[in-house]
Structure 1
Amino acid sequence: MFPETSTERAWTAAVVVIVVGLVGGSLLFPDLVYGSFIWQYFWGPVYADAFNAACAAWNGGSPQLYASSSACEAAGGPTAYPGYTLVSEVGYALTLIFSLVGVVFLLRRLELGEKISFIYPLIPFMLFGGALRVVEDAMDAVPEGVEPAIQYPWNTLLISPLIYFTVFFITVGALLLSVWAHRRGLTETLEWPLAGLGTALLVGSLGYLVFLSVSTTYVYFHPIFTVLTMGGAFAIAIGLWIPIRRRLPWMASGTPLLGGVILWAHSVDGVSNVLALDWGQELGLPNDLVPKHPVNRGIIDIAESVLPESVASVIGTAWPFLLVKIVAALVVIALFDEEMFEEDPRFTVLLLIAVIAVGLGPGTRDMLRATFGI
């Protein structure tokens, strides 16, 4: 029975302590623990985003939505804005790492996840996560007087960070179904049915967005963004990874093929940002899109403050984010050597899955937001 080992028991105890601490603190000090921390940085942004508001004020436990930035600035007490903050991103990163340990225990029980080949059938689920988030973005684009297909509170399941849990549980369900089918002798491997389920979910999400683009006036179709993003990402990955494998074999020792996939995934994120943020209007959008994450927003702010306006107007200010993504991906790739796989293959594989997902998920969302003009 779970927990079985001392490590599993320690992890379970830590989960219980954290949950009890947050719940207990919220009950004893609702304004301080829940209002000023949990609500302001985690649930409040989701709540404001669900109603497409500029912000939401804690208001002593009776949240108040505001439609303008000036009203948000005048609101008293903890105020939450849609999107991420540095506090929330750190919290999500720690939650991700902690959750990966629990997934290792699950895979250990299922005797899965020791080989890199386990990663590839999960890539469609990462693309599906980005596409599903754009489905919710499309609900925000619904004009006044038109009822969105997905409304509160169900739309919160498609808003960051809850969408990560939604996609996670869908993926786990697909994995368990694939394991069951394989062990019953219905399929020769579990990878093909797993990849098939993820692809079906991805196609369904994309199909719904295409349907909206031809049946509504608030969703459009600009395939040039997808073509250029995927083309650019593949060009970067192939153009860098082939010479790296030849001239710096130590960097590719642990991930000879997967390193190129990691580089491609993060290039998707970088290229999609460059195209949507700097060249959106030139490629057919009414306006350039705005960054959704504090990291790329901060990098762009630095570029705008350093580059002369005459230069920035020609080359843009989002390209430094692409360079940062490429360099970060190469640094991470170099860390995954053969020794890591020998010491703990399952945890190493899960870390690699997370590395790909944090590039491909947001990148797919940015790419599809531009593709469908949302």
Structure 2
Amino acid sequence: MSTTFTRRIETVLPETGSREWWGLYLLGPMVLVGAALLAFPTLIYDRFVWQYLWGPVVADAAGQPVTHAGIRAARGYNPVNTLIYIGAVGYSLPGLRAYLEHLNIPFDARLAYGFAPIIVAGGAMRALEDIGLLGEYAVLFITPSIYFVVTAVTVIVLGVGAVTRDRGVLLIPTLVGTVGTIWAVGAISWALLYGTTTSVPLRLWVPAATVGIAFGVTALYYWSAEIVDVANLRHPLLLLAVFGQMWDAAQNLIGVTFLGYSPKLVVTNLVYQATGFSGSTFILKLLVTLGIVWYLADAKGELNWTWWWLMTFFIGAIGLPMGVRGSLRMMLGV
């Protein structure tokens, strides 16, 4: 059953998946941004797009702050691009929903776990960019460009998967998982190969520790959920969400406590700077994750199944690539 909010939006917009809906969905934001740029080019581009969105991407590729029209942009996350990226993820959900429904792909745990290797591959590619191995293609694998690359690969593989399924060759989760696994293994192997050719000691204990902590917390969550006896807390998608977020939390914990790193995300870095406690970001992520999965477990029977699936999946999908990226960077001393 759809929520009241969802029903109200759907009554205003064209029918989901129709040509009119796709036209509004894809062209609407571009028209609005284009009109704003034409009306206020200096304010919108120089003071907003460049300073907070595109400038940090260029600075990341250059490895140092860059300047345009006298405006300095620094690499990394800032409050503006963080909120924009979160909003972009939310905006992508209706499109993903419509695309999967058009291909008649069921929203189930097999699909979510099939997607996971592609997300891991995205995190590994981001780490390769950090290391400096991607050369002129580096700009494609910096946030937010990498989101478009991973999304494009996923969309293409899903389309091919729909064809193979209809011909009785491969199930879609199998194809998506296979492509993602090959990509992820290739990217991680490249990082390992690079690590063996440098003078910096290869810290293999780092990914072992971060993955081990994530698995341990997820196992403890699974066991505790049985004791609490709340329906749906042990759903496979919620387990993936917990593991993804805890992998990110674990790489923050290891990096800050033992290797002198600082959290990259704005909120977690603010918490760390305010408390001075290396475990603060881990505790914050643990508490927030538990609160979210508790809500999702409780709301499973009330929310529309598709929206519940999408929200739950993206909780894990946000954490997984961060955990991979941080683990590989610290393993190589970058």
User: Normalized against structure 2, the TM-score is what?
Assistant: 0.89
**RMSD of Structure 2 on Structure 1 (CA):** 2.1
Equivalent of residue 156 in structure 2, options 173, 192, 207: 173
**Do 1:245 and 1:256's aligned partners in 2 also have CA atoms closer than 8 Å?**
no
Q: What SS class does the counterpart of residue 32 from structure 2 fall into?
A: helix
Match of 1:310 in 2: none
Three-state SS of the structure 2 residue aligned to 1:119 is helix
Unaligned runs of 5+ in 1: 60-75, 140-147, 281-287, 305-316
For 1:334 and 1:128, locate their aligned partners in 2 and report how far apart those are by CA, in whole Å: 28
Q: Does 1:230 align with 2:236?
A: no
Q: 1:199 to 1:220 in 2, by over 3 A?
A: farther
Q: What is the SS of the residue equivalent to 1:35? A: helix
- Alignment match, 1:215: 197
1:39 to 50, 62, 69: 50
Corresponding residue for residue 193 of structure 1: 175
Q: Distance in 2 between matches of 1:96 and 1:256?
A: 23
Distance 1:92 1:113 in 2: 27
- Residue 88, structure 1, aligned to residue 81, structure 2: yes
Q: Which residue of 1 aligns with 2:105?
A: 112
Distance 1:130 1:327 in 2: 24
Q: Offset at 1:353?
A: 1.9
Tell me by how many angstroms 1:341 deviates: 5.7
Within 5 Å, which residues of 2 pair with 1:303-322?
A: 303-304=275-276, 317-322=277-282
Cα distance, 1:79 vs structure 2: 2.3
Note the C-alpha offset of 1:30. 1.7
Identical-pair percentage = 24
Secondary structure of the residue that 2:66 maps to in structure 1?
strand
- Which residue number in structure 1 is paired with residue 224 of structure 2? 243
The answer to whether the Cα contact below 8 Å between 2:251 and 2:327 also exists between their aligned partners in 1 is yes
Deviation at 1:44, TM superposition (A): 0.6
Q: Is the Cα–Cα contact under 8 Å of residues 128 and 134 in structure 2 kept in the other structure?
A: no
List per-residue Cα deviations over 1:354-373 (Å, max 9, x = no partner).
11111111111111111121
Aligned position for 1:309: none
In structure 2, C-alpha distance between the alignment counterparts of 1:84 and 1:272, rounded to whole Å: 17
Query: Using a 3 Å threshold, how does the CA distance of structure 1 residues 279 and 193 change in structure 2: closer, same or farther?
Result: same
Alpha-carbon distance between aligned partners in 1 of 2:245 and 2:193, rounded to the nearest angstrom: 28
Partner residue, 2:241: 262
Matched, 1:291 2:276: no
| Equivalent residue number for residue 144 of structure 2 | 161
Alpha-carbon distance in 2 for matches of 1:109, 1:358: 25
Alignment-derived partner of residue 150 in structure 1: 135
Q: Which structure's CA Rg is the greater one?
A: 1
Q: Does the 8 A contact of 2:121 with 2:180 survive in 1?
A: yes
Q: Which residue of 2 aligns with 1:284?
A: none
Q: What's the counterpart of residue 361 of structure 1? A: 321
Greater percentage in helix: 2
Query: CA deviation digits over 1:338-365, x for unaligned, max 9?
Result: 7546652222222222111111111111
- The range that moved more, 126-135 or 112-121, is 112-121
State the one-letter code of the partner of 2:262: V
Paired residue secondary structure (1:6): coil
Q: What is the rounded CA distance, in whole Å, between the counterparts of 1:251 and 1:318 in structure 2?
A: 33
Shift in Å at residue 214 of structure 1?
2.1
AA at the equivalent of 2:209:
L
Aligned counterpart for 1:331 among listed residues 291, 304, 315: 291
Contact 1:45 1:83 in 2 (8 A): yes
| Residue identity matched to 1:13 | L
CA distance, structure 2, for counterparts of residue 350 and residue 169 of structure 1: 18
Give the whole-Å Cα distance in 2 for the aligned partners of 1:345 and 1:334: 16
Decide whether aligned partners of structure 1 residues 264 and 14 sit closer, same or farther in structure 2, where only a CA change above 3 A counts.
closer
